[in-house]
Amino acid sequence: MATKDESRFIISGGPEPQNITEGFGSLGAFVRNRMRRNGSDVAVIDGVYGTEVQYLELLEQSARLAECLRTLAGIRAGDVIGIVSENRLEFPAVLFGALFVGATVAPINLTYSERELEHAFNLSKPKLIFVSPFSAERVVAAARRNRHIVQKVVLFGDENPFVEGSNQQRDVVLFEDFQRPVSFVNPLSFYIPTVDIDQHVALIMCSSGTTGLPKGVQLTHANLLASIALLEESSNLMEPPPGGIVLLGVLPWFHAYGCMTLINVICNKQKLVSLPKFEEGLFLSCIENYRCTMIFVVPPLVVFLAKHPLVDSYDLSSIDTLLCGAAPLSKETEDLVKARLNVRHVRQGYGMSETTLATLVQNGEYHKSGSVGKVQIGTLAKVIDPETGKLLGPNQHGELCFKGSQIMKGYIGNEKATRETIDQDGWLHTGDVGYYDEDFEFFIVDRLKELIKYKGFQVPPAEIEAILLTNPKVKDAAVIGLPDEAAGELPLAFVVKQDGVEISEAEIKKYVADRTSPAKRLHGGVRFIAEIPKNLSGKILRRELRAMLQKPKSKL
């Protein structure tokens, strides 16, 4: 417990807004109400094929799917439905249809190996899994080894290749075949069960797993309803773009950032242009053709927009705001993209799967470059010494901790990890190092576990990476610690060169040395590689970089 003197270092984002979700017995009931209200407006556009879905169409699709789950598959409140798919128009119908029957939805990374899929299945225990052709072979193989968990796999698309002998296996059915017995359901009279919103789990999200196998993050109906209410209140504080809100999203819906974006877009009557993956030309042409005004991005996409020559071939003048999350964006990169595209805002936020969405947000017209904003409405924040737990004041670096209505219920089947993350007073310990300044704007330094310990100094890799990215000859970069008997760890950089340029290890080391204190110089050297390994949300996979240290040095 904080003393009276220390309590001044607990930062509040202000009281909860008027509860727009009050009176609804579940997230599903609230979503249905918003879809009905939004009527014939366009909800989602498939950026690849140009197919549009209106809110009422999505409502009808979701209700039909819900009836199929209830009557054909026997799904009830509390059962789990898995989705292993890229962003495609079937995804939201399955997501909301499952919520309509009170089921828990477990979106799963479609790039997972069979081992990782089996791990995810054993975490969330889905009775039914919806899958796209991209990952179907791996999913079906993993599901058939876990028949005690997975009863059926429903396959998107037109072909079912999972046939043994002359008979199609009944454990794998096509999406349209699954729905065929139910032709239409009145979505307005469809029964949506009431649940205990504080305890009933709506989503099980897989944590990013950048350092090991993922954990299952349980988000309740109350968590998601609070997030929707907070985001709507935050949006009311911001001036909308002159061209209205047309969002472009390439972030995967199986990721917390992408999934919460989808849910919030549907509830806040916005138009979302969606892409299944990042392809340079398609991404840029969607901005140009649909006159997108707000783009959901992660730092690698901001680097692309700031530095790639292809960007100059497209009209991106419609962009008003870049909304960046999932990993820290440096001040240097933010300044570069602002100067190149002349966008009005580059808004950062800070959140994690365990906090449902953002706990730190940039709401006003002004914020400091490199900041991730101020504490979200309805949220408490503090910065502590990670070793002693002592509360720290302005401009003191420590671990970020949060408390509020968005904090997860816990990790499914892992009470030990839950207790290690959420303390007895309800504070979630993020494992991220940051600080706030005298104006209560927050800045992220790095992951606590990723800090490089050089001769007793704590060196944040993200700081060196940000410096490297200001070099016009550097396309991308990542920094890790190289184990060293004398120093502990030596900062080592992996660098991707810009196409058609030459730059040496000595040049890069000097470039960093000229801009940092001695502890932050590249004492471990430089390795040139073709691509920095990252997960689909843009986080650097440092474990893969450490594995590369066992390989001979590249001369790229």
Given pLDDT bands bounded at 50, 70 and 90, which one contains residue 169? low
In a domain, 249, yes or no: no
Q: How far is CA 352 from CA 99, 116, 195, 277, 316, in A?
A: 22, 21, 25, 21, 29
Domain count, the chain: 3
What mean pLDDT do residues 387-415 have? 95
Residue 437 DSSP symbol: -
What mean pLDDT do residues 450-473 have? 87
Sheet containing 172-174, strands listed edge to edge, beginning at the edge strand earlier in sequence: 172-174, 152-155, 128-131, 80-84, 104-107, 201-206, 216-220, 410-411
pLDDT of 542 higher than 80:
yes
Given pLDDT bands bounded at 50, 70 and 90, which one contains residue 89? very high
Same domain (yes/no): 444, 461: no
pTM: 0.85
What mean pLDDT do residues 451-473 have? 87
Which of 232-241, 282-291, 360-369 tops mean pLDDT?
282-291
Which alpha helices (DSSP H) does 268-366 contain, by range? Answer: 280-290, 299-307, 331-341
Same domain (yes/no): 468, 442: no
Given pLDDT bands bounded at 50, 70 and 90, which one contains residue 177? very high
**pLDDT for res 550:** 77
Sign for the pseudo-dihedral over CA of 217, 222, 225, 229: negative
**In contact, 538 and 476? CB cutoff 8 Å:** no
Which of 12-21, 72-81, 191-200 is predicted least confidently? 12-21
Given pLDDT bands bounded at 50, 70 and 90, which one contains residue 552? low
In a domain, 490, yes or no: yes
**pLDDT for res 106:** 98
Same domain (yes/no): 349, 319: yes
Sign for the pseudo-dihedral over CA of 351, 352, 356, 357: positive
pLDDT digits (tens, 9 = 90+) for 16-59: 766 666 778 999 999 999 999 999 999 999 999 999 999 999 99
- With pLDDT > 90 as the criterion, what percentage of the chain qualifies? 66
Same domain (yes/no): 313, 324: yes
pLDDT of 283 higher than 90:
yes
Same domain (yes/no): 67, 175: yes
First and final C-alpha spacing in the chain: 54
In a domain, 257, yes or no: no
Same domain (yes/no): 431, 473: no
In a domain, 247, yes or no: no
In a domain, 241, yes or no: no
Query: Strands 358-361, 374-375: parallel, antiparallel or unpaired by DSSP?
Result: antiparallel
**Given 3-state DSSP classes, what are the helix, strand and coil percentages for the chain, each rounded to the nearest 5?**
30, 25, 45
Same domain (yes/no): 382, 461: no
In a domain, 555, yes or no: no
Same domain (yes/no): 437, 395: yes
- Last residue within a domain, chosen from 220, 245, 270: 220
**In contact, 107 and 214? CB cutoff 8 Å:** no
Which of 202-211, 309-318, 365-374, 539-548 tops mean pLDDT?
309-318
Same domain (yes/no): 282, 320: yes
Residue with the larger pLDDT of the pair 302 and 236: 302
**pLDDT for res 367:** 78
In a domain, 239, yes or no: no
pLDDT digits (tens, 9 = 90+) for 291-338: 999 999 888 889 899 989 999 999 999 999 999 887 778 788 888 999
**pLDDT for res 104:** 98
**pLDDT for res 6:** 64
Write down the mean pLDDT value for the chain. 90
Given pLDDT bands bounded at 50, 70 and 90, which one contains residue 539? confident
**In contact, 198 and 222? CB cutoff 8 Å:** yes
The CATH number of whichever domain residue 426 belongs to comes to 3.40.50.12780
Domain extent at residue 497: 451-548
Same domain (yes/no): 209, 124: yes
SS (H, E, C) 438-501: CCCCEEEEEEHHHCEEECCEEECHHHHHHHHCCCCCEEEEEEEEEEECCCEEEEEEEEEECCCC
Which alpha helices (DSSP H) does 74-174 contain, by range? Answer: 90-100, 114-124, 136-144
In a domain, 254, yes or no: no
Q: How far is CA 455 from CA 121, 307, 458, 546, in A?
A: 43, 35, 9, 20
Give the SS3 label for residue 91: helix
pLDDT digits (tens, 9 = 90+) for 404-437: 999 999 999 999 999 999 999 999 999 999 999 9
Query: Strands 104-107, 163-164: parallel, antiparallel or unpaired by DSSP?
Result: unpaired
**pLDDT for res 555:** 46
Same domain (yes/no): 377, 508: no
Q: Please state, in angstroms and rounded to a whole number, the distance separating the CA atoms of residues 61 and 306.
A: 39
The CATH number of whichever domain residue 465 belongs to comes to 3.30.300.30
pLDDT of 167 higher than 50:
no
